[in-house]
Amino acid sequence: MEATNPASIGLVLLAAKLCEWRSDWPEAARLASVALEQDDRVLDAYQQRALARRLMGDLAGAIGDYDRCIQIDPSCTWAWEFRGACRSTLAGRLPRDQMLELQEQAELDYRQAVRLDPANERATLSMIEAAICADRFLAAFGCAGEAWSVVRCPRLRVVGAWLGCIAGILAERQPRTWDRYLQALRARQSTLGPLTWCVAEINSVLRRLEEEGRHDCGTLARLAEVHEIFLSHFAEGGPALQ
């Protein structure tokens, strides 16, 4: 087998990163694949290709890349986290029984990410989202309170406020118990970039709740209001993953 050239692989991945910045996801995926043809154990290449595949809607392909990362390095925190995110998004497209099963797998991925890196604020918030998606609203609301005391990144605190409001509304808590999240959301202290957070999972939950008719119009209106406030934090173009 020919020796790989780390410098050559580095240049290919740099070109792939430039494609990411231009949102040219097909070319980013192609270049990452070129790097992997030279060395199929380069985690950065899998990470770049998985992100591109996820943005193009190829969730199964992205999950496969994260599977390979975990196989190569079981302590790869981001692989556990983002595999959970892909599974959660995919779960929202499935019938209820299958959705709950896959959502449980997503939550296990998030928990492993936090186990490996307790300071991982994104994975901590993702566990709240996973609980909301699995209709465990009281658990989600409890997790939101715990996360609020530890999440420090300004942009992720906006995400935490949004999830806290949604969990509080769906858990039928009194507004005063989640008002701090609403006030933080309305404060508009941080602008979110297109990749700050994927809203596909919550979009799916909101559509499902409306279709199932389990909640009154007032509840659905409060959820829609909170969601719109959150989306208004994103820069022009909104979130990339919807």
Biggest alpha carbon–alpha carbon distance for the chain: 65
Q: Are 114 and 147 in contact (CB under 8 A)?
A: no
* pLDDT of 177: 96
| Rounded average pLDDT over 164-173 | 97
DSSP single-letter state for residue 3: P
C-alpha dist (Å) from residue 111 to 83, 85, 131, 143:
12, 12, 12, 12
Give the C-alpha separation, 201 to 80, whole Å. Answer: 17
- Res 241 pLDDT > 90: no
Share of residues in the chain with pLDDT > 70 (%): 98
| Rounded average pLDDT over 154-176 | 97
Cα torsion angle, 143, 146, 151, 155, sign? positive
Q: pLDDT digits over 171-212, tens only?
A: 999 999 999 999 999 998 889 999 899 998 999 999 989 998
**76 CB burial (10 A radius; 0-12, 13-18, 19+):** buried
**SS in 3 state form for 45-81?**
HHHHHHHHHHHCCCHHHHHHHHHHHHHHCCCCHHHHH
Q: Give the predicted TM-score (pTM) of the model.
A: 0.86
* Max mean pLDDT range (3-12, 36-45, 161-170): 161-170
Residue 164's nearest CA partner among 129, 199, 134 is 129
Q: Are 220 and 210 in contact (CB under 8 A)?
A: yes
* pLDDT of 1: 36
Domains by residue range for the chain, with CATH: 9-73 (1.25.40.10)
Residue 225: which residues within 8 A CB-CB, separation 6 or more?
Answer: none
Q: Are 18 and 27 in contact (CB under 8 A)?
A: no
* Higher pLDDT, residue 96 or 139: 139
Q: pLDDT digits over 19-76, tens only?
A: 988 989 999 999 999 999 999 999 999 999 999 999 999 999 999 999 999 999 999 9
pLDDT band at 222 (very low <50, low <70, confident <90, very high): very high
* pLDDT of 4: 57
Q: What share of the chain is helix, strand, coil (3-state, %, to 5)?
A: 75, 0, 25
- Res 5 pLDDT > 70: no
* pLDDT of 95: 86
| Rounded average pLDDT over 3-26 | 84
* pLDDT of 2: 45
